[in-house]
Amino acid sequence: MANYKLKIIPLGGLGEIGKNMTAIEYGRNVLIIDAGVMFPEHDMLGIDLVIPDFTHYLKDKKDWVRGIVVTHGHEDHIGALPYLLAEVNAPVYATRLTTGLIELKLRQKGLASRANLNTIQAGDQISMGGLFDVEFFHVCHSIPDAVGLAVRTPVGLIVHTGDFKFDYTPAWGGPPDFGALARFGAEGPLVLLADSTNADNPGFTPSEKTVDEGFDKVFREAEGRIIVATFGSLISRVQQIINAAARHNRVVAIDGRSLEESTEQAQALGYLNVPPGVLVDLMSLKGRPDSQITIIATGSQGEPGAALGRMANGRHRHLKIKKGDTVVMSSRVIPGNEQVVARAINKLFQQGARVISGRQDQVHVSGHASREELKLLFNLVKPKYFIPVHGELRHLHAHAELARKQGLPAENIFVVENGHVVEFDDKGGRVTERIPGGWLFVDGSGIGDIGPQVLRDREMLSQDGFVIAVVRLNEKTGELVARPRIITRGFVFVKENMDLIERAEEEIIANLRLDGKDPYATIRTTLADMLYSETRRQPMVMPVVIEA
């Protein structure tokens, strides 16, 4: 059987590598691991979602997909499933909580009925297409029910950690399944794919339990309301907040749709343990003493439209921040959001709240393994080949260096980018081709229709707006039949610049008379030159010429 090559292909563009989606291919069989979204970056103007572009890779291989395996229920691992399932009809395998969160997502998109969802649990071993034998093993992460994968293939055993850390005292479930990792190690695995997010972070990532201590200090000191901002998907964190509130005789209200939905789903599935009477409706808080109130709110990234953002901006319909409130930022800040988060924090302070957000306050810990944990993982699994994944290139390089320092020869380590194909056969492993792909932009209902030209236009419009000149010419003589009309937005404040607009119109009239050649070129050059010299701005200039 081993006459085919085993291929491992992380999908997506530059950014975090091997995180959102990975394909494993052998013969005419494909296994997909995760299907998540990337957060749009600042210069992806107007883009709602960014997903790995699987269309090229799967073009002729839709029927080859034997299974889609999802490691845990975070957006960057499940967010692209609706798009993938619209193209590929294959069974999805995930743990119970993950399946519940996937169902929620598919329901929101009206796709629930189409999916073939299969619930597995850590320890299960499932054959997909008779060729890939997938064993799921328990790992610790910032969401319950996360798993790693051992994939047995005709060429050898692949161990894939998923997102993980080694937490001896996690907020949910037991410590990671070290036994399984050691067992894989004894099998002599072909290749290890491991989470590199914190590969440049020395030491160990603190346990989730340390957050309990952080919360206890906050709850002990706070005299007024406590408002904790976190992600809807950080379900273990929600549990910790509920526990802290119960310990300190406070009720908890949830504020923000994504938090409400995921909390409800987690509770329905038994992943959230709420003592009776602790969880109450936001509306029922009225009349209750502030010292008995906890609110868990969306908006940890400073989003102005989320619950915390509306409080910060004084636009929340039911809550007004006041002196005595304690706001706790209990999540990481996604790179790029630092500025909006800082602004929200400043506005909360402005209204009298005390805001707790520092690392030293222990109200958040990372869900990813640091260097010492990565070393332990490596020593348990003892792979022949190593592919660092889940991180930007700099993290993969740091992780690769760690593996080299532990004795793995450099030629057995593949630092690859998304789209690179790593191929294995009985002669060994190597990086071969690069397949076409990248990121696919979702904007409104359009998928992949926003290309570089539209983004360049949006960028230009965002900087200096546009100026359009509507010019009517006699179709026979080419002479102006009316005064040009200028329409502009985002360039100058029109009401205070009527004079500039009028002079621009005059300039068009004068120049059209001077040279009667191509009116489009004349108008464009006239306007661009004149507006730049007067304002040092470069709006998008467009002539509209009507000949009648």
Among 60, 110, 113, 202, binds its own copies (CB under 8 A): 202
Residues 489-528, mask of contacts with its own copies (x by CB under 8 A): xxxxx--xx-------------------------------
Which residue's structure tokens are 């790029």?
Answer: 336
Q: What 3 state SS string does 106-117 have?
A: HHHCCCHHHCCE
In the three-class reduction of DSSP (H, G, I as helix; E, B as strand; rest coil), residue 284 is classed as helix
**295-334 residues near its own copies, rule: CB under 8 A:** none
Catalytic annotation on 42?
no
- Annotated active-site residue 368? The verdict is yes
Q: Which two tokens stand for residue 175?
A: 């410590």
Q: Which is nearer to its own copies, 87 or 459 (CB)?
A: 459
Closer residue to its own copies, CB minimum distance, 129 or 304: 304
Q: Of these, 200, 260, 261, 507, which contacts its own copies (CB under 8 A)?
A: 200
The catalytically annotated residue of 34, 163, 195, 443 is: 195
Examine residue 534 and tell whether it contacts its own copies (CB under 8 A). Answer: yes
Span near its own copies by CB under 8 A; candidates 67-75, 115-123, 222-230, 482-490: 482-490
Tell the smallest beta-carbon distance from residue 215 to its own copies (Å): 19
Q: Does the protein bind its own copies through residue 449 (CB under 8 A)? A: yes
DSSP 291-310: GGEEEEES-TT--TTSHHHH
335 binds its own copies (CB under 8 A): yes
For its own copies, the binding residue among 129, 187, 466, 509 (CB under 8 A) is: 466
Segment contacting its own copies (CB under 8 A): 213-221, 224-232, 478-486, 518-526? 478-486
CA 377 to chain centre: 26
Which of 138, 364, 368, 399 is the catalytic position?
Answer: 368
Nearer to its own copies, 100 or 543 (CB): 543
Render the burial of 216-242: b for 16+ CB within 10 Å, e for the rest: eebbeebebbbbbbbbbbbbbbbbbbb
Q: Return the H-helix or E-strand segment holding 32.
A: strand 29-33
* Structural contact between residues 201 and 370, judged by C-beta atoms closer than 8 angstroms: yes
- Region near its own copies per CB under 8 A, out of 162-170, 220-228, 231-239, 340-348: 340-348
Among residues 360, 409, 476, 498, the one that binds its own copies under rule CB under 8 A: 360
Residue 385 and residue 193 in contact, taking contact as beta carbons nearer than 8 Å: no
269: β partners = none
Residues facing residue 92 across a β-bridge: 68, 117
Q: What is the smallest separation between the CB atom of 107 and its own copies, expressed in angstroms? A: 18
Binding of residue 479 to its own copies (CB under 8 A): no
Strand-strand pairing, 293-297 and 226-229: parallel
Nearer to its own copies, 286 or 476 (CB): 476
List of residues 6+ apart from 102 with CB closer than 8 A: 70, 73, 78, 81, 92, 94, 115, 117
Nearer to its own copies, 372 or 392 (CB): 392
Identified binder of its own copies from the candidate list 305, 444, 478, 516, rule CB under 8 A: 444
Q: Is 14 in the site for its own copies (CB under 8 A)?
A: yes
Residue 529 touches its own copies, criterion: CB under 8 A: no
Q: Does 268 bind its own copies (CB under 8 A)?
A: no
Query: Looking at 1, 283, 498, 548, which residue binds its own copies (CB under 8 A)?
Result: 548
Question: Interface residues for its own copies in 376-395 (CB under 8 A)?
Answer: 392-394
CA distance 283 to 185: 54
Using the rule CB under 8 A, is 397 a contact of its own copies? yes
With binding defined as CB under 8 A, does residue 355 bind its own copies?
yes
Which position among 273, 346, 379, 406 is part of the footprint of its own copies (CB under 8 A)?
Answer: 346
Q: Is position 409 an interface residue for its own copies (rule: CB under 8 A)? A: no
Q: Report helix, strand or coil for 124.
A: coil
Indicate the residue among 427 and 495 with the shorter CB distance to its own copies. Answer: 495
Between CA 166 and CA 359 the distance in angstroms is: 20
Q: Measured from the CB atom, is 182 or 482 closer to its own copies?
A: 482
470/52 Cα distance (integer angstroms): 42
Cα 262 from chain centroid (whole Å): 17
Could you give the strand order of the β-sheet that contains 6-10, starting from the edge strand earlier in sequence?
117-119, 92-94, 65-69, 29-33, 22-26, 6-10, 420-425, 428-434
**Residue 110 binds its own copies, judged by CB under 8 A:** no
Nearest to 163 by CA among 378, 18, 371: 18
| Catalytic center residues | 195, 368
